[in-house]
Every structure is written in structure tokens, then in C-alpha cells.
Structure 1
């Protein structure tokens, strides 16, 4: 069964991970987000408990 032979598939896996790790990942990490997170505190909303009609 040729699909059990790991020789070509392991090489393809290794090359694709190396490509991602050393070439694509640094390029992706250089992008700046368009909406940077803000330090604004969100207002706290008061919630009321649910009134069940059968209690």
C-alpha cells in the first residue's frame, strides 16, 4: 500500500511547516491591526433577575 510509505509525505509536511514558520509567519506578524484595542472601560449594566411565573 503506497499511502503507508511516509517518505514523500513527511518531506512535504516538513517543507510546508518550515515555509510557514520561517517565511509566512513573520510577514503575517508584521501587520498592524486596523482597530487597535482601547483601554476604555465598559459601563457596568445592572441586570435584574428573571421572574418565573410559576414561583
Structure 2
């Protein structure tokens, strides 16, 4: 059964993880969010009661 032979697939997996860890991940970690969630102040919604026409 050829799918049980880890020879080519293990190398591809290792190269993929090294690419992700060494090249892509540092670029993603340098990304600075323009709108960080901690900078927003919580606002209370306007909770005026609704006047129903049938009451």
C-alpha cells in the first residue's frame, strides 16, 4: 500500500511546517491591528421603553 510509505510525505510535511514557522508566522506576528479591542470604551445602549399602540 503506497499511502503507508512515509518517505515522500514526511519530508513534505516537515518542509511545510518549517515554511510556516520560519517565514509565514513572523510576518503574521508583525501585523498590528488598527483597531485593537482593548481601546474601545464600553457604551450603554439606549433603553427607552417602546410605546405600544394597543396598550
Q: TM-score, normalised by structure 2?
A: 0.67
SS in 1 for 2:27: helix
The gaps in structure 1 that reach 5 residues or longer are 44-55
Give 1:34 deviation, angstroms: 2.1
Look up the match of 2:4.
Answer: 4
Aligned residue pairs: how many?
A: 46
The gaps in structure 2 that reach 5 residues or longer are 45-55
Runs of 4+ aligned structure 1 residues displaced above 6 Å come to none
Look up the match of 2:41.
Answer: 40
RMSD: 1.8
Q: TM-score, normalised by structure 1?
A: 0.67
